[in-house]
Amino acid sequence: MLAAILRDSDAAIFVCERDGVLLGFCTVRIDRAPSIQVEVQRAEITDLTVRARERRRGVGRALVERALVWVEERGVERCEVRVASRNAEGQRFWRSIGFDDLMDVLQRRL
Ligand SMILES: CC(C)(COP(=O)(O)OP(=O)(O)OC[C@H]1O[C@@H](n2cnc3c(N)ncnc32)[C@H](O)[C@@H]1OP(=O)(O)O)[C@@H](O)C(=O)NCCC(=O)NCCS
């Protein structure tokens, strides 16, 4: 997965480390649609994880803010993230940094 991100100019990974220890990481990518569509590009944060004992210290926020700078630098004006409805921690985190509801994703198990 990491190698694929590093090869792809439309994807990036940001890491937070201290003394060589990984505290958290965030992956982001830009999706492009055919120019016939109204919105031709958007970004998606595809992963964000902070080591459990390092949470609530601003690492997650800093990683996302850095990723959003990368997105903006590419002229993309919107960024999405998929967060599970039952991920209460994640829901509170994303809302606290300015993300809000876009659509509900429904599923049926087969
Ligand atoms: C979600 C996650 C990335 C947040 O990382 P973090 O470094 O703890 O987040 P921050 O410290 O930057 O928090 C920023 C703000 O988000 C909110 N927040 C974060 N975690 C929260 C929690 N457990 N409960 C309530 N609010 C929370 C707070 O408003 C917080 O600001 P504050 O600490 O000043 O009150 C981390 O909890 C995590 O890795 N969770 C497991 C993986 C996951 O769910 N990833 C997201 C998948 S979409």
Question: Is residue 50 lining ligand 1, measured as CB closer than 6 Å?
Answer: yes
Confidence category of residue 96, pLDDT binned at 50, 70, 90: very high
Rounded CA gap, 60 and 62, in Å?
A: 5
Q: Which pLDDT tens digit goes with each residue over 52-62?
A: 999 999 999 99
Per-residue pLDDT tens over the stretch 97-109: 999 999 999 999 9
The full set of domains in the chain, from first to last, is 2-96 (3.40.630.30)
Distance 41 CA to ligand 1 centre (A): 27
* pLDDT for the residue 4: 85
Q: Which amino acid is at 18?
A: R
pTM: 0.94
Separation CA 11–CA 96 (nearest Å) = 25
Looking at ligand 1, which atom is closest to the CA of residue 59? 7
pLDDT for res 2:
80
Q: Tokens in use for 93?
A: 């985190």
Tokens of 83: 């967060």
d(CA 6, CA 21): 20
Residue 25 · residue 13 · CB < 8 Å:
yes
pLDDT tens digit sequence for 71-88: 999 999 999 999 999 999
